[in-house]
Chain A
Amino acid sequence: MSEGLALSRAAAARPRSVTSEGRAVRWLLTGIAILFLALFLVLPLLTVFAQALSRGWAAYFEAFHEPDAQAAIRLTLTVAAISVPFNLVFGVAAAWAIAKFEFPGKSVLITLIDLPFSVSPVVSGMIYVLVFGSQGLFGAFFIEHGIQIIFAVPGIVLATIFVTFPFIARELIPLMQEQGTAEEEAALTLGASGWHAFRTVTLPNIRWGLLYSVLLCNARAMGEFGAVSVVSGHIRGLTNTLPLHVEILYNEYNFVGAFAVASLLAGLALVTLVIKSVLEWRYAGDLAAGARH
């Protein structure tokens, strides 16, 4: 009894868990981490805004008034507006099939969904050039029918869809697997049709995970550079997205313009991060633990 008391006093005096390190080691490790973050993340981010505003607000806003910049913004929004809903539908469908059913080839499908993450963005763009380009597999067919895919908006949309495909499916698969099929089965025994059960049970159960992944998908769709660069053709005012526009301005030594447009993308990233953190903090239980990036 007295021994137990003595132990608990000792524990109260030094509330330190066995897995924590000594003071010096803790300061050292924390210091390294903060230095690293400052050097590689915070500083570059600040540079973006500092450069963008280096000639004042007027020059900053001037960069967005330019017709080419406006076209780039419009194109980026258009591409995201097409590819995100597309991946929303296909991501949910793929996750639903994988998480709730057993079928042959399931592991192959999971691997395929991961493919865009592991393939270099240049390759992601090249494959569409090889398939739809004028020398490509179906190139002649589309040219005959007057449809241009490569060096035009359809190609950019295709490449963006390819690159952003895993975001939604990857978040939803572990979430839906964890939730199992019991609630859907309950809905079916109560007389609900498959679609009704999906709408009233499956979808509400994944809503926060879905919002979270749509957000990430959208950020990537707007920010994608490599794959889009290959298929775009860099035609000013026509096939330049925001990231490509930044590159062109930068190569023309228009640093204020380049960084002003870049600050727009950085701002988008920051907003995405804030909403993502809020979602994680507020609905942690409703997000798939394994898939948090």
Chain B
Amino acid sequence: MLHDFHLDVRAGELLGLLGPSGSGKTTLLRIIAGLDFPDRGRVLFGGDDATGLPVQQRAVGFVFQHYALFKHMSVADNIAYGLNARKRSERPGRAEIRRRVGDLLDLIKLSGFADRYPSQLSGGQRQRIALARALAVEPRVLLLDEPFGALDAQVRKDLRRWLREIHDRTGQTTIFVTHDQDEALELSDRVAVLDKGRLEQVGTPDEVQDRPASATVLKFLGDSIELEALAEGGRVLVDGRPTPVAAPRGVIGPTRLHVRPWQLQFVEPAEAHLTGTVRASHRSQGRQRIEVERPDGRLVVVEDFDGERYAAGRPVGLRINGGYVFAG
């Protein structure tokens, strides 16, 4: 279910559609491809109205979440499928098709795999074949549905980097769907955040992280805590002490301040916005996360470099170095 919105995709960009499951991102992708049809609204490619065009004439490359490779065909036949499906008059010659398949296999670094069958390949390899198959028809736009969703963490990271390289080399306009914030933020030129069928925000990874348009976007992009605060004289105050956060125009009086775990800093209780006692801490990869229990029983997670260790039970003070306040 999608609500009304307008989304511009720029030629040559890599756009990430980010949202929780059920947010409508896959539906949007399928509407662009012509696999689903909207009740109203239009799909434009360049200046051309593609809304009424059947999927075959949209010239899109679609990579399915579970690849949907043709099981009974060799890798080469899979990649050549789109070319072989063309009308005789538009179909390239056999030698030309073989050359194109070879080029694509080189591009995805699977040159020796032409005669293998999908069942003989790993998940990551199948994913790359699916991409080559979609690229073979020289699509106007490449659409990827959760391209790394079914892969394990390490393969995922490698493929992410590799997809970025392919994109930089081919300049192919690409839209991909993901529910993984890190993936969207690392890979995309711009990110479109969807929630409950609404487009919440479109912007570069920096824009959506520095200036999230709504609490929904902020929460979806990472952990945060929500604090009661007061907006006064253009400043946001917590517990009567001013914070570095500026109040947006029109926000006066009691409000909510959203703070990321790394926007909190340990200080002496006397100069703190928040106080509490350490309950637990975990370290991983040069960083540590410390859980602080506030006097009212609520938990605050602080993220810090792995340096001084904080023992459970130790009373601490926290200063707010940044945060977000949303109007309305």
Contact = CB atoms under 8 A, between A and B. Distances in A.
A122 interface: no
A187 B33 contact: no
A164 B290 CA distance: 70
B72 interface: yes
B70 interface: yes
Interface stretch (A15-23, A77-85, A96-104, A191-199): A191-199
Contact of A191 (B35, B68, B69, B137): B137
B61 A189 contact: yes
Interface in A175-205: 182-183, 185-193, 196, 200-201, 204-205
Interface string A29-49: 000000000000000000000
B139 to A, nearest CB: 9
Contacts of A200: 70, 81, 85
A30 B177 CA distance: 56
A190 B139 CA distance: 9
Contact of A190 (B35, B66, B71, B133): B133
B70 A182 contact: no
A153 B57 CA distance: 49
Contact of B56 (A182, A183, A188, A201): A188
Interface residues of A, number: 16
B71 A182 contact: no
Contact of B33 (A189, A193, A196, A201): A189
Q: How large is the interface on B (under 10, 10 to 19, 20 to 34, 35 or more residues)?
A: 20 to 34
Contacts of A192: 56, 81-82, 85
Interface of B is mostly: loop
A182 B82 CA distance: 15
B68 A190 contact: no
Interface of B: 33-35, 55-62, 64, 66, 68-72, 81-82, 85-86, 133-134, 136-137
A121 B144 CA distance: 53
A186 B64 contact: yes
Contact of B62 (A186, A196, A201, A204): A186
A190 to B, nearest CB: 4
Contacts of B61: 189
Contacts of B69: 183, 186
A188 B35 CA distance: 9
B85 A187 contact: yes
A198 to B, nearest CB: 12
B72 A191 contact: no
A182 B64 contact: yes
Among B62, B81, B137, max chain A CB count under 10 A is at: B81
B81 A187 contact: yes
23 contacts: A183-B68, A183-B69, A183-B70, A185-B35, A186-B64, A186-B133, A187-B70, A187-B81, A188-B35, A189-B33, A189-B60, A189-B134, A190-B137, A191-B57, A191-B82, A192-B56, A192-B82, A192-B85, A193-B85, A201-B70, A204-B70, A204-B72, A205-B72
B72 A190 contact: no
Contacts of A191: 56-57, 59, 82, 85-86, 137
Given A186-B62, A189-B61, A205-B72, 6 more contacts: A183-B71, A186-B70, A189-B134, A191-B57, A193-B85, A200-B70
A186 B56 contact: no
A188 to B, nearest CB: 5
Given A191-B56, A191-B86, A204-B72, A185 B81 contact: no
Nearest to B64: A182
A205 B71 contact: yes
Given A189-B61, A193-B56, A205-B72, A182 B85 contact: no
A245 B262 CA distance: 90
A188 B72 contact: no
A185 B62 contact: yes
A196 B88 CA distance: 13
Contacts of B70: 183, 186-187, 200-201, 204
Contacts of A187: 70, 81, 85
